[in-house]
């Protein structure tokens, strides 16, 4: 393998697009996107601002699943369950025990990271596809607990009056103020993932994605790195849940069902599995596109499903893969070829 090919394999997806450029270009893309989103809600109204914030929160959850699937090659069906754990832990700690949101946010990430380790370790000792069955059962178990253990979660009545956090004394109760807070948190988590991908750990994750057998032959502990990717991806879902709870200010079990985990998986595939900016594109398709189709009335779900099906048929590598190939043809550069 040539030096240039090695560099290409170690680079995050969208590495040759103006949307990503080099690794440093990807950072600048994230920064530019954060600046745009900071001012985007001006004049959009409360509901439009809420949709933008929800898109960013879902992007965080999809970021974690993208690391799990796109880099480690693991099919997790529990991302919504991890998100629910983070949301309920944050809601319970902040409403019942007066714990700071920031402490609840950190604890949500730690809890889901630890559960990811415990959940993934026995499954990965057998075969990778067993993780899909384990996470499917785990997702069902978590949903049943959220729905039936009313003494803890409120059951079908959920938890209400979830307060939004302060930021250095600034009240974030308004839609615009909280949206900008979500932008900052999303940017920090995206940069952390960008740093992870460009680190030695990230190169090991990329090696797992490109050729697990060759990675093992080079001395990479594939099982340990795979488990680490799954745990970090689970933690990102916990972080997303910790933001989701104050965003909606009321939670019940319905947003964290198994079907939502499949929907998050769809966002990863549609956006581009293994691409750095794929989660944002996938969450845009999953959150914002249905809102744009509301004009169709009761037919909007049918239209949405048809668009997604055609998209997956036309570009099985997702929108990000299609954009990279189009840019490669336009500039005469070598495409990714996936």
Q: Please name the helix (run of DSSP H) or strand (run of DSSP E) that holds residue 226, with its range, or none.
A: helix 222-248
176 found inside a domain: yes
- Give the 3-state secondary structure of residue 231: helix
CA-based end-to-end distance of the chain: 17
* Predicted local confidence at residue 24, as pLDDT: 63
User: How distant, in Å, are the alpha carbons of 2, 82, 217 from that of 266?
Assistant: 34, 17, 32
19 found inside a domain: no
- State the Cα–Cα distance between residues 227 and 268, nearest whole angstrom: 19
* Predicted local confidence at residue 99, as pLDDT: 96
- State the Cα–Cα distance between residues 265 and 83, nearest whole angstrom: 13
> What range defines the domain where residue 255 resides?
27-259
- State the Cα–Cα distance between residues 23 and 12, nearest whole angstrom: 7
41 found inside a domain: yes
236 found inside a domain: yes
For the chain, how many structural domains are there in total? 1
* Predicted local confidence at residue 126, as pLDDT: 67
* Predicted local confidence at residue 335, as pLDDT: 52
Query: Cα-flanking dihedrals φ and ψ of residue 160, to 5°?
Result: -115, 180
321 found inside a domain: no
Q: Contacts by 147-151 with C-beta closer than 8 Å and gap 24+?
A: 147/253
180 found inside a domain: yes
334 found inside a domain: no
Tens-binned pLDDT, residue by residue, of the chain (338 aa): 333 444 444 444 443 343 334 456 778 889 999 999 999 998 888 999 999 999 999 999 999 999 999 888 888 999 999 999 999 999 999 999 999 999 999 999 999 999 999 998 887 776 667 888 899 999 999 999 999 999 999 999 999 999 999 887 777 888 899 999 999 999 999 999 999 988 888 888 878 777 778 888 888 888 888 899 999 999 999 999 999 999 999 999 999 999 999 999 999 999 999 888 899 999 999 999 988 888 877 888 889 889 988 988 888 888 988 888 887 788 766 555 44
- State the Cα–Cα distance between residues 233 and 138, nearest whole angstrom: 16
2 found inside a domain: no
- State the Cα–Cα distance between residues 152 and 47, nearest whole angstrom: 30
* Predicted local confidence at residue 128, as pLDDT: 60
- Give the 3-state secondary structure of residue 256: helix
* Predicted local confidence at residue 312, as pLDDT: 85
């Amino acid at each position: 393998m040539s030096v240039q090919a090695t560099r290409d394999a170690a680079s995050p997806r969208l590495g040759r697009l103006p949307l990503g450029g080099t690794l440093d270009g990807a950072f600048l893309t994230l920064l530019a996107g954060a600046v745009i989103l900071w001012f985007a809600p001006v004049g959009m109204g409360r509901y439009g601002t809420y949709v933008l914030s929800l898109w960013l929160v879902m992007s965080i959850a999809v970021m974690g699943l993208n690391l799990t699937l796109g880099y480690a090659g693991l099919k997790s069906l529990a991302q919504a369950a991890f998100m629910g754990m983070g949301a309920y832990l944050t809601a319970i700690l902040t409403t019942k025990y007066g714990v700071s949101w920031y402490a609840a946010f950190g604890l949500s990430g730690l809890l889901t990271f630890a559960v990811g380790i415990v959940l993934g370790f026995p499954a990965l000792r057998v075969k990778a596809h067993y993780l899909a069955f384990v996470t499917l059962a785990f997702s069902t178990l978590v949903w049943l607990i959220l729905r039936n253990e009313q003494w803890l979660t409120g059951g079908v009545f959920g938890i209400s009056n979830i307060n939004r956090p302060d930021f250095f004394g600034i009240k974030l109760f308004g839609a615009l103020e909280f949206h900008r807070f979500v932008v900052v948190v999303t940017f920090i988590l995206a940069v952390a993932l960008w740093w992870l991908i460009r680190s030695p750990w990230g190169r090991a994750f990329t090696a797992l994605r490109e050729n697990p057998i060759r990675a093992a032959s080079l001395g990479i502990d594939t099982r340990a790195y795979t488990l680490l990717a799954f745990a970090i991806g689970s933690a990102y879902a916990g972080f997303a849940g910790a933001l989701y709870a104050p965003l909606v200010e009321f939670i019940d079990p319905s947003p964290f069902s198994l079907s939502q985990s499949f929907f998050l998986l769809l966002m990863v595939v549609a956006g581009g599995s293994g691409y750095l900016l794929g989660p944002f594109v996938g969450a845009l398709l999953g959150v914002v596109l249905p809102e744009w189709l509301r004009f169709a009335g009761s037919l909007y779900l049918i239209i949405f499903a048809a668009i997604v099906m055609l998209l997956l048929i036309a570009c099985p590598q997702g929108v990000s893969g299609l954009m990279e190939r189009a840019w490669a043809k336009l500039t005469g550069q070598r495409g990714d070829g996936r």
